[in-house]
Amino acid sequence: MPSAPPPRSSRCVSVPSRSSVRSPAGSWFLVGVLIFLRWLLQVDSARKRGVLLEAVQVLADLDLSINKAYISSDGRWFMDVFHVTDRLGRKLTDDSVITYIQQSIGTWNGPSKPAALEGLTVLELTGADRTGLISEVFAVLADMSCSVVDARAWSHRGRLACLVYLRDEDVVAASVERIEARLAPLLRGDSEASGGAVAAVPAGSIAHADRRLHQLMYASRDKERAFPTPWVSVESWAERGYSVVTVQCPDRPKLLYDVVCTLTDMDYLVFHGTIDTNAGQARQEFYIRHADGSPIRSEAEMQRVSQCLQDAIERRSFEGVRLELCTPDRPGLLSDVTRTFRENGLLVAQAEVSTKGDMATNVFYVTGTTAGQAVQQNAIEAVREKVGVDCLVVEEHRPQLYQKARGQDDRDDRNGAGIGLFYLGNLVKRNLYNLGLIKSCS
């Protein structure tokens, strides 16, 4: 294992054009940027729980792609190195993005609460998904004169999780009790056992919408479904006191965030890791322990971690059509649009709704009502006719299937952790040496 780092004044770290910021909590954060074909971002700090997730979250929120990453933590210190580009693989040249990253990573002091969330209430909705459910939810809110300021919705394996941001004055006028009473039957559907629920919470209590959706989906997941396919593996490395998590699948935006978010919310700490993407394929390897420092000890827990990671990755993965609607906002807009989806047999797999001033920007990912069913062109045309041809952008969305990469040596499955169980200290030192971040890897 790498030894504990020397005092900061004598550390063997060299990153061109770096800036340092002292956080309010007193920990040092170093953010280095090296511009070649891509960005190299180094975060070097006294170890604090959740810092890795926050760093990945900042990059995900900026819609940046993480091509490679190296994570190393020893004792009370950690170093994370990220290779990042924009979504199209180009290096970053916008100074405002550079400044935002440096300020965001350098000044963490607990979850932020943006001013935009003041005066808003969030409805947290979970239940059994079905065609038209989102439409019915928005119709009820429109009928109760509740304007939707923002909304996020995910569906996966027949379950729906949704966050709906409403103005406090609308919630007070309609009353929380009446809103919950009208929405709860929709989320339960025909079965009391479906686990439908609705709760109203202050918007400031939700630090990050995507993370909260992951938490809601995790809480209502199907615990009885089959063990996941083998491209997510969890193995024991008892002699080093780690559990080794390996993820292999086609790369996609926010993949690393979804994996790290799930591990963090399941109360695991990532001590070391490597992330690499090549030809559209991603391989992620993490060395983890429980928060109390112990590794995973039971086969049942390994299966649970593997299942939960697969679920987290699949939630943003589907095949269908992306519809982006930008139009002046008006009462009942969401109800009208989603009702058109329902009337034309479209299922909303994901939704991202936002309003700024008098303009509404709504993104819907829609599929046919049956798994694998193509979206019919006449359904798209019906939506266009309803909202206006010039307001709607249609994009086909066909990600690769999430499965083990072709040609992967099956010895990984036969030999337990496979290549993951080599000497971790040499791995981390060699990676950092190759990046030019330490003078020697000997």
Question: 3-state SS string over the chain?
Answer: CCCCCCCHHHCCCCCCCEEEEECCCCCEEEEEEEECCCEEEEEEEECCCCHHHHHHHHHHHCCCEEEEEEEEEECCEEEEEEEEECCCCCCCCCHHHHHHHHHHHHCCCCCCCCHHHCCEEEEEEEEECCCCHHHHHHHHHHHCCCCEEEEEEEEECCEEEEEEEEEHHHHHHHCHHHHHHHHHHHHHCCCHHHCCEEEEEEHHHCCCHHHHHHHHHHHCCCCCCCCCCCCEEEEEEHHHCEEEEEEEEECCCCHHHHHHHHHHHCCEEEEEEEEEEECCEEEEEEEEEECCCCCCCCHHHHHHHHHHHHHHHHCCCCCEEEEEEEEECCCCHHHHHHHHHHHCCEEEEEEEEEEECCEEEEEEEEEECCCCCCCCHHHHHHHHHHHCHHHEEEEEECCCCCCCCCCCCCHHHHCCCHHHCCCHHHHHHHHHHHCCCCCCCC
Residue 33 pLDDT greater than 70, yes or no: no
pLDDT digits (tens, 9 = 90+) for 410-429: 434 333 333 333 334 444 44
Backbone angles phi, psi at 336, to 5 degrees: -65, -45
| Antiparallel, parallel or unpaired: β 320-328 and 197-202 | unpaired
Supply 218's token pair.
């995790």
Domain boundaries, the chain: 8-111+226-316+407-434, 115-206+318-397
pLDDT band for 18, please (50, 70, 90 cuts).
very low
Q: Identify the pLDDT of residue 423.
A: 39
pLDDT band for 207, please (50, 70, 90 cuts).
confident
CATH number of the domain located at residue range(s) 115-206+318-397 in this protein: 3.30.70.260
28 vs 106, higher pLDDT: 106
Q: Identify the pLDDT of residue 372.
A: 55
Residues 179-190 have a mean pLDDT of 88
Distant-in-sequence, close-in-space partners of 14: CB < 8 Å, separation ≥ 6: 436, 437, 438, 439
Is residue 358 within 8 A of residue 328, CB to CB? The reply is yes
Is residue 154 within 8 A of residue 212, CB to CB? The reply is no
98-118: burial string, b at 16+ Cβ within 10 Å, e else: beebbebbbebeeeeeeeebe
pLDDT digits (tens, 9 = 90+) for 267-282: 999 999 999 999 889 9
- Say how far residue 138 (Cα) sits from the centre of its chain: 25
The CA distance from 268 to 292, in Å, is 9
Supply 102's token pair.
């440096």
Residues 228-236 have a mean pLDDT of 78
Q: Please give the mean pLDDT across all residues of the chain.
A: 77
* Residue matched to tokens 């971690």: 305
The CA distance from 138 to 337, in Å, is 10
pLDDT band for 350, please (50, 70, 90 cuts).
very high
36 vs 380, higher pLDDT: 380
Residue 10 pLDDT greater than 60, yes or no: no
Is residue 402 within 8 A of residue 231, CB to CB? The reply is yes
Residue type, 352: E
Give whole-number Cα distances, 211 to 73, 218, 361, in Å: 23, 11, 21
What is the dihedral sign for C-alpha 262, 197, 253, 399? positive
pLDDT digits (tens, 9 = 90+) for 378-412: 888 888 888 777 888 888 765 443 333 333 434 34
pTM of the complete model: 0.78
Is residue 49 within 8 A of residue 86, CB to CB? The reply is no
